[in-house]
Structures are given as structure tokens and as C-alpha cells.
Amino acid sequence: MNDGVRWGRPGELCTCGRQAIEVFETDHGPVGWCRISDGGNSVGPCPFCGSPRKHFTPWGDLGRCPSYRLRLVGGDV
């Protein structure tokens, strides 16, 4: 893959909570992407902070949780 992008490993998550297909290196650390741009279609709490609703940017787009981590257990890669 291109510089700064690699295939996701088992247990690495997209910002929506699904398994990450790709992982991008960003200024904020590694960020997973599942290649589905719906922000997560499941109803329920945020897998990262437990909030009952999805997170949005100040301008109203779906956003990532401030508590997002590439992995829920075992820390970041």
C-alpha cells in the first residue's frame, strides 16, 4: 500500500467501531477505516466512550469519538 497506509490487522477498528480494512497514519496517530462511509449503522452506545449517540463535527458531519483508539483492548499499535 502507499506510504502511511497499511492493511488493518485483526482487532483494529474503524472510527465507526467496525473492523478496519485499512489503517492510516495521521497527525493524531493511526486511524482505521472500514471503507463504509455511513458512520456505523448499528444503533447503540459508542464502542469507545459509551455515549448513547453518534458523534458529530461542529459543522454537523459524522465525526469520530474523542476517545477513539485503534484497538479497544491492549492499547494502540
pLDDT higher than 70, residue 74: no
Q: What angle do CA 63, 16, 6 make, to 5 degrees?
A: 100
| Grid coordinates belonging to 8 | 488493518
The pTM (predicted TM-score) of the whole model is 0.76
Give the tens place of pLDDT for each residue, 5-47: 999 999 999 988 899 999 999 988 899 999 987 766 666 788 8
Q: Which domain holds residue 42?
A: 1-77
CB 20 within 8 Å of CB 70: yes
Phi and psi for 15 in degrees, rounded to 5?
A: -65, -15
Residues 24, 71, 67, 33, CA torsion sign:
positive
Within the chain, where are the H helices?
A: none
Q: How many distinct structural domains can be found in the chain?
A: 1
pLDDT of residue 33: 93
Q: What are phi and psi of 26, to 5 degrees?
A: -125, 175
pLDDT in tens, 43-59: 678 889 988 877 888 89
